[in-house]
Structure 1
Amino acid sequence: MPIAIIDDQPLHYVDQGSGPVVLLGHSYLWDQQMWAPQIAALSQKYRVIVPELWGHGDSGPLPAQTHSLGDLARQALALLDHLGVAKVNLVGLSVGGMWGAPLALLAPERVNSLVLMDTYLGAEPEATKKAYFALLSEIEQAGEISGKVLDTIVPIFFRPGIDPNSALYKDLRHSLRVLPPDRLRNSIVPLGCLIFDRKGALEGLSRLNPNRTLVMCGDEDQPRPPAEAQEMADLIGCKLIWIPKAGHISSRENPDFVNEALLRFLEEHA
């Protein structure tokens, strides 16, 4: 199991395939499985690296030195240094984009191309921030994600009307239900607070290379509505692709469309 010690904690990552490097950043409350269809498709032509967020998958606890999305970007760079990787094509979905764009701005010489999926570099709107913090407080106090909280959280990730008996829905619900109290309190909750209390960083987007940046968004994304994707694409001046029949985790809800779009973009830019 590939592990790198970053900020004194074990960071687990997937490293599969060979060729130009594609670094995939996954969503909060998911793990490498969020990218399973993309790992399978992209690793035929590329070296695909997928770090798992702290407290997620097989990664260790959130390091004490982690206070911002910039720290997540710095830690991802430390992983690349550990692996001897000079340059990547970065694809970040949700929080993966929230640290992916700062990484591209912090070390532009390390990022060959950038795809921002179902993400937003602005501050969290106050109403949703308040709602998320209430849920995080409830999880911290209970030491578990209760059935009632799961009924609120799980549907957010998918397009409206998803079948709650589908494997995708049931697998996510089960993975969250069995998270142990120490992982929730020491990693999941504080990381969630860090994400949802982020400072807006939209002003930096104009410094990204519009010819090597792509914004993609599920056309039925609920937590990151398409208007946010449009705003970012306009600020960057880059192409925007709508992913049909997909919510927030578009990589799993419409994997064939996402794979085709990524392969086409990488063919031109990797």
Structure 2
Amino acid sequence: MPFATLDGQSLHYTDQGTGPAVLLAGSYLWDQNMWAPQIAALSQQYRVIALDLWGHGQSGPLPHGTTSLDDIARQALALLDHLDIARVTLVGLSVGGMWGVRLALSAPQRLNGLVLMDSYVGVEPEPTRQYYFSLFKQIEDTGVIAPQLLDIVVPIFFRPGIDPQSALYQDFRASLAALPAERLRESIVPMGRITFGRDDLLARLPELDAATTLVMCGDQDKPRPPSEAREMAGLIGCECVLVPEAGHISNLENAGFVTEALLRFLAERN
């Protein structure tokens, strides 16, 4: 398993295929396995790198001094340097898009393209931010994501009509229930506060290259609704694609649609 030491901690990533590089940056509370359908398809033609956020999957704890999404973007650039990758197409879903925009703005020369999926770079609406922070406090105090919290958190990621007995739903719930207290307190909760306490980057979106940017969103995404995706695409001046029959983790709820859209976008960029 490949690891890179960044800011004193071990970051886990996968690296499959050959060709132009694609970096897959996923959602909070998910590891790089969330990209399995896309890795399988894209790695036939591209070099596909997918990373685990700090405290997620097999990555080590959040490094000391990591206090913002700009730090996460800087660490991702350090990973690209470690891999001797000069240019990459970055596909960021949820928090992956939030720090992905920061990478794009700070190092535009490193990107062939940028796909923002089920993401938003404005500030978190204040009632939502306060609600999430109250959940983080409960998790921090108890050292566990208790069943009653799982009943709240897990449905957020899926379209309303998903079968709660499906493997996708149940496997995600089980993964959250199994998180140890140390990991929750050292990495998961601080990463959540960084994510939902982010600053507003909407005013800088026109700096992105509209010709090499795509916004996508599940048509039933609850935490990051299509209205936010349309707002960002409008500011960038790029296309906005809604993923049918999909919630927040749109790349898994409608994997075929998303994979085809990414293959089309990559074919135009590379």
**TMscore range, shorter length:** over 0.9
1:14 Cα offset (Å): 0.6
Counterpart AA for 2:219: D
Deviating beyond 2 angstroms after TM superposition, the runs of 4 or more aligned structure 1 residues are: none
Output the CA distance in 2 between the equivalents of 1:161 and 1:244: 12
Instruction: Tell me how far 1:162 sits from its aligned partner.
Output: 1.0
Gaps of 5+ in 2: none
TM-fit CA distance, 1:33: 1.3
State yes or no: 1:81 paired with 2:57: no
Aligned to 2:153: 153
Shift, 1:79, TM fit? 0.3
- Tell me, what secondary structure is at the counterpart of 2:268? helix
Shift of 1:5: 0.1
Instruction: Give, in whole Å, the separation in 2 of the partners of 1:67 and 1:186.
Output: 12
Q: Once superposed, what is the RMSD of the aligned Cα atoms? A: 0.5
In structure 1, the residue corresponding to 2:98 is in which secondary structure?
helix
**Offset, 1:161:** 2.0
CA–CA distance in 2 between the matches of 1:219 and 1:51? 26
What is the aligned partner in structure 2 of residue 104 from structure 1?
Answer: 104
Q: Does 1:64 align with 2:64?
A: yes
Correspondence for 1:242: 242
5+ long unaligned stretches in structure 1:
none
Corresponding residue SS for 1:246: coil
Asked if 1:264 corresponds to 2:259, the answer is: no
Residue 221 of structure 1 and its aligned partner are, at CA, apart by: 0.2
Identity rate, percent? 65
Match of 2:230 in 1: 230
Cα distance in 2 for residues equivalent to 1:116 and 1:194: 19
Please give the residue correspondences for 1:7-18 in structure 2 after superposition, counting only pairs within 5 Å: 7-18=7-18
- 2:88 is matched by which residue type in structure 1? V
Which residue pairs with 2:255 in the alignment?
255
SS of structure 1 residue aligned to 2:240: strand
1:96-134 superposed Cα distances (whole Å, 9 cap, x missing partner): 000001101100000110000000000000111011001
**TM-score, normalised with respect to structure 1:** 0.99
> What code does the residue aligned with 2:189 have?
V
- Structure 2 residue identity aligned to 1:142: T
Give the Cα separation in 2 of the matches to 1:91 and 1:85: 15
Number of the residue aligned with 2:216: 216
Deviation, 1:186, is 0.2
Deviation, structure 1 residue 13: 0.2
How many residues align? The count is 270
Partner in structure 2 of residue 137 of structure 1: 137
Partner of 1:32: 32
Q: Which whole-Å deviations, capped at 9, do the CAs of 1:19-69 have from their partners, x for residues lacking one?
A: 000000000000011111000010000000011100000000000121111
In 2: Cα distance, 1:34 partner to 1:208 partner: 27
**TM-score, length of structure 2 as denominator length:** 0.99
How far apart are residue 203 of structure 1 and its match?
1.0
Q: Give the partner amino acid of 1:19.
A: G
In structure 2, how many angstroms separate the alpha carbons of the residues matched to 1:115 and 1:67? 24
Alignment correspondent of 1:48:
48
